[in-house]
Structures are given as structure tokens and as C-alpha cells.
Amino acid sequence: MKVSVQSPATIANLGCGFDCFGLALPVYNVITVEETILPGSGVEINVLGADADSLSENIPTSKNNIVFRAIELLYNYVGQAPSELKINIKTGIPIARGMGSSASVITGGLLAANELLGRPADQNVLLAIANEIEGHPDNITPAFVGGMTIACLEETGSVTYRKLPWPKEWKITVCNPDFELATDISRSVLPENVPMKDAVFNLRHASMFIQAVHTKDEELMKLAMADKLHQPYRMKLVPGLNNIMDELKHTDGALGCVLAGAGPSIAVVSNGKNTDEIKDIVHTCWDNINVNSKIHTYSIEEKGARIL
């Protein structure tokens, strides 16, 4: 028996919502988990897709693979060990670009394995296992449930979340530069402590963000996405980011420009208008410093991961 799951890309943080806010996008990985019938065949992990050869260098195909590690935790939860498994990872989400590729494959692997096992784990258990591997719930949660989410890791290890009613007309333009940025490197530049005034600044703006989404308040959203907890420290890792943000402040339709997750991709929230000019501005800013890019505009993926 085998099960395939399609799991979406995600954008975390969204400026002010560090390690808390996230949303799902209609770009997908597909994870297939199959219980093989040959005793002693062990665990086989394959990376599929147009760039499979180059991706295999970055995605372990041993038991260190994050998909297998998540599945192993689920099997342990039901008192079993995953002995004979074949795992195929078909990639459609760029790796190390801030689009939640790891959260996507973890989510897909867990849902597929849970289906193979007869659904012993509920969503709360799956979220907790996924978070144990990923480390924070901002990407994991929208990958599971779709939409725009607020997620919190509790001291017990459980994840509490709520979905926000994202305005359908608001779009996300994702700008992918032609270089990678590993999450651990992007996190290494963050300070262990931040000034109280910066923490309060983000608390205020996160509150405004939630209100702006609920009321579709474009003017409030333009203020709300500002951040002082992570983006100021990560600016130096993404050439041209500061210039792009400044240019987009004066662009009709643009509601905010932020790092996509830990970067290096950039996410621009807009009211759905003038998206071509937004793309042109980012292209031009990066072209001027010899950074190639791919830019796409998306609506939110509301459904999250699903069994195919």
C-alpha cells in the first residue's frame, strides 16, 4: 500500500509575526510513502523532479532525512518501527528560499504515514511531531491546514493555532533570487536578546496586522508589516532588499514587502492591483546588482495538505 500527499509552500513571519504568522501558497511538494513487502529491504528515499540530481546533494537520502525522521516519530508514537519503507519526494517548492520546503515535506510525510497506519494520530499529535522536527510552528501549521494562520508552541510541546480570514483579493508576489540561504545561517545573525522597545514595537504591529486582515484595511496593513525583531539583522544577507522595500513603499497597490520566512526570497502583499509594476520594480532592483530572479504572484492556498 502507498499514499501520496500534496503539501503546499508556506511563507512565515510576514514581517511582524516572527515565528508566529504563516500562510500557504499554491506551490507544492508531493510525498509518497509506501510500505514495501520485501523483508529486509530497509528504507529507500528518492528525490524526484526536474532538478532531482542537484537537489539530491542538498536532501539526504539516508535515515537523516527529515521526512523519515518525522515518520519514525509517528511510528514510535504507535509503538512500531518503520522497517521497510519507500519514500519519494517530488519537489516543486524551491529549497532554501524561505518558502517552507522543509515544512511541506515533513507535513506530507506525516500525513501519508498516518494514513498507512490507519490514522492513529489526530491533527494535534501530527502538529506536535512536525514541530519537533521543524523547530517552530509558523510554517508547519499553514502547510497542514492552509490559509493564513497564527500559531503558538506551548510549553507542553503542543501547537495552538487559529486561521485568519485572509482577503481573497489580496495577493502575494513571491520574488525568488538565484541564490540560497539556509535557515540556520539566517537564524545565526539574530541576537539572543532584543531591546524592550523593539519587542513592544512588534507586539503593536502584530496586533495591527490581525486587525487589518480581519477588516481588509489596506492603509493599516501598510503600517502593520514593519518589523524590528529579525529583518533588520537579516538585511545584509539579502543584497538589494533595503532598496526594494524603499521603492515599493511608493508603489500603488503594494501593502507591504517582507522577507519570505528566513529569506532570501521576498514576499510582497498587494491588493491585487498593479502586480506587474511590483514585479518590474523587484526585477530592476536586482538586475542592477546582477541578481537574477523568478517572480510569481499567487492567491492564498486555503486547503493545506491533502491526500491524493
Q: d(Cα 91, Cα 287) in Å, to the nearest integer?
A: 27
Q: Provide mean pLDDT across the span 45-69.
A: 71
Residues 165-186 as b or e (16 or more Cβ within 10 Å = b): ebbeebbbbbbbbeeebebeeb
Which one, of 142, 89, 146, 80, lies nearest residue 116 by Cα?
Answer: 80
Q: Are residues 210 and 284 in the same domain?
A: yes
Tally of domains within the chain: 2
- The 8-class DSSP code of residue 263 comes to S
* pLDDT value, residue 35: 87
Q: Are residues 63 and 149 in the same domain?
A: yes
Q: Are residues 137 and 208 in the same domain?
A: no
- pLDDT greater than 80 at residue 80: yes
pLDDT band at 56 (very low <50, low <70, confident <90, very high): very low
* pLDDT value, residue 99: 96
- Structural domain range at position 201: 171-298
Task: Spell out the residues 6+ positions from residue 7 whose beta carbon is closer than 8 angstroms to its own.
Answer: 28, 29, 30, 31, 104, 105, 107, 108, 111, 143, 304, 305
How many helices (H) and strands (E) the chain has is answered by 11, 11
Kindly report the average pLDDT of the chain as a whole number.
92
Q: Are residues 35 and 87 in the same domain?
A: yes
Q: d(Cα 118, Cα 258) in Å, to the nearest integer?
A: 41
Q: Are residues 129 and 266 in the same domain?
A: no
- Structural contact between residues 22 and 38, judged by C-beta atoms closer than 8 angstroms: no
This prediction has a pTM of 0.93
Q: Are residues 135 and 206 in the same domain?
A: no
Provide the residue count of the chain: 308
Coil, helix or strand at residue 189: coil
Q: Are residues 141 and 14 in the same domain?
A: yes
Q: Provide mean pLDDT across the span 283-293.
A: 94
* pLDDT value, residue 228: 97
Q: d(Cα 266, Cα 157) in Å, to the nearest integer?
A: 30
Q: Provide mean pLDDT across the span 32-54.
A: 75
* pLDDT value, residue 49: 72
- The 8-class DSSP code of residue 17 comes to -
pLDDT single digits (tens) 197-242: 999 999 999 999 999 999 999 999 999 999 999 999 999 999 999 9
Q: Are residues 187 and 257 in the same domain?
A: yes
Q: Domain holding 158: CATH number?
A: 3.30.230.10
* pLDDT value, residue 39: 67
Task: Provide the residue type at 67 as one letter.
Answer: V
Please report the DSSP string for 176-195 in residue order: EESS---HHHHHHTS-S---
- pLDDT greater than 70 at residue 40: no
Q: Are residues 117 and 188 in the same domain?
A: no
- pLDDT greater than 70 at residue 142: yes
- pLDDT greater than 70 at residue 58: no
pLDDT band at 50 (very low <50, low <70, confident <90, very high): low
Q: Domain holding 244: CATH number?
A: 3.30.70.890
